[in-house]
Amino acid sequence: MYPFAKKVIVNYFTPKKSIKKHKINMEINQTKQPDFTSFIDLASERLGGEAISCSDDFFAEKENLLKNGRGIFIADKYTDRGKWMDGWESRRKRQPGHDWCIIKLGASGIIKGFDIDTNFFLGNHPPFASIEACFISSDESNTIEQFEKAKWIEILPKSFLNAGSQNFFEITNNKIWTHLRLNIYPDGGVARLKVYGTVFKNWDIISTNELIDLAAAVNGAKSVMCNDMFFSHMDNLIMPGRGYNMGDGWETKRNRTPKNRDWVIVKLAHIGEIKSALVDTFHFKGNYPDTCSIEGINIGELNTDLSSNDLIWTEVLPLTKLHADQEHFFENEILPTGPLSHIRLNIFPDGGISRLRLFGLVSK
Check pLDDT > 90 for residue 213.
Answer: yes
Q: Which of 11-20, 147-156, 309-318 reaches the highest mean pLDDT?
A: 309-318
Rounded to an integer, the average pLDDT of 89-108 is 97
From CA 194, how far away is CA 44, in angstroms rounded? 7
Helix (H, G, I), strand (E, B) or coil at 293: strand
Q: What is the per-residue DSSP string for 11-35?
A: -----SSPP--HHHHHHHHHTTS-G
Q: Are residues 154 and 243 in the same domain?
A: no
Q: Are residues 177 and 35 in the same domain?
A: yes
Check pLDDT > 90 for residue 322.
Answer: yes
Q: Which of 6-15, 88-97, 301-310 reaches the highest mean pLDDT?
A: 88-97
Distance of CA 329 to CAs 181, 242, 296, Å?
41, 14, 18
Residue 356: CATH number of its domain: 2.60.120.260
Q: Are residues 13 and 54 in the same domain?
A: yes
Nearest to 74 by CA among 84, 63, 62: 84
Check pLDDT > 70 for residue 141.
Answer: no
Q: Are residues 195 and 235 in the same domain?
A: no
Structural domain that includes position 81: 5-199
- Domain end, chosen from 199, 214, 234, is at 199
Q: Are residues 93 and 228 in the same domain?
A: no
Q: Are residues 191 and 86 in the same domain?
A: yes
Q: Are 123 and 164 in contact (CB under 8 A)?
A: no
Q: Are residues 51 and 119 in the same domain?
A: yes
Q: Are residues 41 and 119 in the same domain?
A: yes
Q: Are residues 114 and 263 in the same domain?
A: no
From CA 180, how far away is CA 173, in angstroms rounded? 14
Check residue 167 and give its pLDDT. Answer: 98
- Domain end, chosen from 156, 178, 199, is at 199
Q: Are residues 132 and 239 in the same domain?
A: no
Check pLDDT > 90 for residue 91.
Answer: yes
Rounded to an integer, the average pLDDT of 49-62 is 97
Q: Are residues 274 and 161 in the same domain?
A: no
Confidence of residue 17 (pLDDT cuts 50, 70, 90): very low
Q: Are residues 136 and 15 in the same domain?
A: yes
Check pLDDT > 60 for residue 221.
Answer: yes
pLDDT digits (tens, 9 = 90+) for 21-36: 434 343 434 447 999 9
Check residue 7 and give its pLDDT. Answer: 84
Distance of CA 43 to CAs 133, 140, 295, 357, Å?
12, 19, 31, 21
Check pLDDT > 90 for residue 14.
Answer: no
- Domain end, chosen from 166, 199, 232, is at 199
Check residue 11 and give its pLDDT. Answer: 55
The total number of structural domains that make up the chain: 2
